[in-house]
Structure 1
Amino acid sequence: MSSINKDIDISTIENTHVVPNDPELEAREKALVRKLDMRLVPMLTFLYICQRLDNSNIGNAKVAGLQTDLGLSNFQYSWAISIYTLGVMAMQIPSNMILERSRPSIYLPTLIAAWSVVSAMTALVHDYKSLLLVRFFLGITESGYWCGAVFVLSTFYKPREIAMRNSIFYCGNWLSGALGGAFAGAIIDGMEGKAGLPGWRWLFIIEGCITFVVAFFAIWALPDYPATTSWLTDDEKDLAVRRLGQGKPKEKFSFTGLKSALIDYKIWVFIIIFMAIQTGGQLNYFMPQIIQDIGYTGSMTQYMTIPVYVFAAILSLIVALLSDRQQVRSYYIAFCMSLAVIGYIFQIATTNKALLFFSLFLCGGGVWASLGVSLAWLGDCVPGPRDKKAIGFALLNMISQLSNFYGPQLYTNPPRYLVANIVILVYMSIGVVLCFGLRFLLVRANRRLDDKYGVPVVEKKQVIPDDRDEGDVAPETGVNKNFRYLL
Structure 2
Amino acid sequence: MSLKNRIREYFHTDYRPGERLLVQKIDFFILTFCCVSYLVNYLDRNNLANAYVSGMREDLNFVGNQYNEILVCFTIGYVLGQIPCNLSLHYIKPRYFFPMMMCLWGGLTMVTASVQRPQSIMAIRFFLGLCEASTFVGTHYILGSWYTERELGKRSGLFTASGLAGTMIGGFIQTGIYERLHMRHGMAGWRWLFIIDGLLVFPVALYGFFLFPDTPHTTNAPYLSEAERELARSRVPPPQREKSPITLGFLKKVLTSWYWWGFVMLWVIAGETESFSTKSLLHLYMENHPSIEYSVPQKNNYPTGVPAVGIISTLFWATLTDFLGGKRYLVGYWIGITGVVTSAMILTAAKDPTSSLSTRMTFAAYYWAGSVYACQATFFAWCNDAMRYESPVFRSVVLAGMNLGNNAVDAWWGIVFYPASTAPWFNRGMWAMIATSIALAIWTAILTYGVWRLHRNRAINEAPGQSTGLDPEKSGHHVGTKESSSV
Q: Which of the five TM-score ranges fits, normalised by the shorter chain? A: 0.7 to 0.9
- AA aligned to 1:411 is Y
- AA aligned to 1:341 is V
TM-fit CA distance, 1:87: 0.9
The equivalent of 2:256 in structure 1 is 263
The equivalent of 1:432 in structure 2 is 441
TM-fit CA distance, 1:38: 1.9
Please say if residues 156 and 240 of structure 1, whose CA atoms lie closer than 8 Å, have aligned partners that are also in contact. Answer: yes
The equivalent of 1:209 in structure 2 is 199
Please say if residues 308 and 361 of structure 1, whose CA atoms lie closer than 8 Å, have aligned partners that are also in contact. Answer: yes
Distance 2:54 2:177 in 1: 11
* Residue 67 of structure 2 is aligned to residue 77 of structure 1: yes
The equivalent of 1:391 in structure 2 is 397
TM-fit CA distance, 1:486: 4.9
3-state secondary structure, aligned to 2:285: helix
Please say if residues 264 and 398 of structure 2, whose CA atoms lie closer than 8 Å, have aligned partners that are also in contact. Answer: no
* Residue 274 of structure 2 is aligned to residue 281 of structure 1: yes
The equivalent of 1:303 in structure 2 is 301
* Residue 179 of structure 2 is aligned to residue 189 of structure 1: yes
Distance 2:119 2:299 in 1: 28
Alignment of 1:4-43 (within 5 A): 26-43=16-33
TM-fit CA distance, 1:46: 0.7
Alignment of 1:444-455 (within 5 A): 444-453=453-462
- AA aligned to 1:312 is G
- AA aligned to 1:405 is A
Indicate how the Cα distance of structure 1 residues 248 and 24 shifts in structure 2: closer, same or farther if over 3 A, else same.
Answer: farther
Distance 2:452 2:397 in 1: 25
Identity of aligned residues (%): 22
Please say if residues 258 and 391 of structure 1, whose CA atoms lie closer than 8 Å, have aligned partners that are also in contact. Answer: no
After the TM superposition, which of the residue ranges 119-128 and 265-274 deviates more from structure 2? Answer: 265-274
Indicate how the Cα distance of structure 1 residues 287 and 100 shifts in structure 2: closer, same or farther if over 3 A, else same.
Answer: farther
TM-fit CA distance, 1:340: 2.9
The partner residue of 2:412 within 387, 398, 406 is: 406
- AA aligned to 1:390 is S
- AA aligned to 1:281 is E
Please say if residues 48 and 173 of structure 1, whose CA atoms lie closer than 8 Å, have aligned partners that are also in contact. Answer: yes
Alignment of 1:44-59 (within 5 A): 44-59=34-49
The equivalent of 1:244 in structure 2 is 236
| Deviations 1:372-419 (CA, angstroms, capped at 9, x unpaired) | 111110111222211101111111111211233123312220110112
Distance 1:245 1:211 in 2: 34
The equivalent of 1:463 in structure 2 is none
Distance 1:41 1:473 in 2: 33
The partner residue of 2:114 within 115, 121, 124 is: 124
- AA aligned to 2:411 is F
Distance 2:455 2:273 in 1: 32
TM-fit CA distance, 1:25: 5.8
| Deviations 1:297-327 (CA, angstroms, capped at 9, x unpaired) | 2202211122222121011111111100111
Aligned-residue Cα RMSD (Å) equals 2.3
* Residue 451 of structure 2 is aligned to residue 442 of structure 1: yes
3-state secondary structure, aligned to 2:65: helix
Please say if residues 110 and 195 of structure 2, whose CA atoms lie closer than 8 Å, have aligned partners that are also in contact. Answer: yes
Distance 2:26 2:188 in 1: 42
Distance 1:225 1:170 in 2: 20
TM-fit CA distance, 1:147: 1.3
Distance 1:473 1:161 in 2: 26
- AA aligned to 1:236 is E
Distance 1:375 1:253 in 2: 21
The equivalent of 2:365 in structure 1 is 359
Indicate how the Cα distance of structure 1 residues 173 and 274 shifts in structure 2: closer, same or farther if over 3 A, else same.
Answer: same
Please say if residues 273 and 335 of structure 2, whose CA atoms lie closer than 8 Å, have aligned partners that are also in contact. Answer: no
Normalised by the length of structure 1, the TM-score is 0.86
The partner residue of 2:386 within 377, 381, 385 is: 381
The equivalent of 1:342 in structure 2 is 341
After the TM superposition, which of the residue ranges 115-124 and 337-346 deviates more from structure 2? Answer: 337-346
3-state secondary structure, aligned to 2:425: coil
Alignment of 1:94-243 (within 5 A): 94-229=84-219, 230=221, 231-243=223-235
After the TM superposition, which of the residue ranges 145-154 and 439-448 deviates more from structure 2? Answer: 439-448
Please say if residues 60 and 118 of structure 2, whose CA atoms lie closer than 8 Å, have aligned partners that are also in contact. Answer: yes
Please say if residues 385 and 477 of structure 1, whose CA atoms lie closer than 8 Å, have aligned partners that are also in contact. Answer: no
TM-fit CA distance, 1:248: 5.0
Please say if residues 341 and 363 of structure 1, whose CA atoms lie closer than 8 Å, have aligned partners that are also in contact. Answer: no
| Deviations 1:105-163 (CA, angstroms, capped at 9, x unpaired) | 01100000000001111111111221111111111121212111111111001122111
Distance 2:148 2:70 in 1: 39
Indicate how the Cα distance of structure 1 residues 185 and 263 shifts in structure 2: closer, same or farther if over 3 A, else same.
Answer: same
Please say if residues 117 and 212 of structure 1, whose CA atoms lie closer than 8 Å, have aligned partners that are also in contact. Answer: no
After the TM superposition, which of the residue ranges 52-61 and 422-431 deviates more from structure 2? Answer: 422-431
TM-fit CA distance, 1:250: 4.4
After the TM superposition, which of the residue ranges 24-33 and 437-446 deviates more from structure 2? Answer: 24-33
Alignment of 1:310-329 (within 5 A): 310-327=308-325, 328-329=327-328
- Structure 2: tracts of 5 or more residues without a match: 1-12, 351-357, 482-487
* Residue 478 of structure 2 is aligned to residue 484 of structure 1: yes
Indicate how the Cα distance of structure 1 residues 135 and 307 shifts in structure 2: closer, same or farther if over 3 A, else same.
Answer: same
- AA aligned to 1:107 is F
Give the total of aligned pairs.
Answer: 445
Distance 1:408 1:396 in 2: 18
TM-fit CA distance, 1:195: 1.5
Please say if residues 467 and 477 of structure 2, whose CA atoms lie closer than 8 Å, have aligned partners that are also in contact. Answer: no
Normalised by the length of structure 2, the TM-score is 0.86
TM-fit CA distance, 1:439: 1.0
Please say if residues 454 and 477 of structure 2, whose CA atoms lie closer than 8 Å, have aligned partners that are also in contact. Answer: no
Indicate how the Cα distance of structure 1 residues 257 and 27 shifts in structure 2: closer, same or farther if over 3 A, else same.
Answer: farther
Indicate how the Cα distance of structure 1 residues 35 and 213 shifts in structure 2: closer, same or farther if over 3 A, else same.
Answer: closer
The equivalent of 2:8 in structure 1 is none
- Structure 1: tracts of 5 or more residues without a match: 1-22, 455-471
- AA aligned to 1:386 is P
Distance 2:272 2:60 in 1: 27
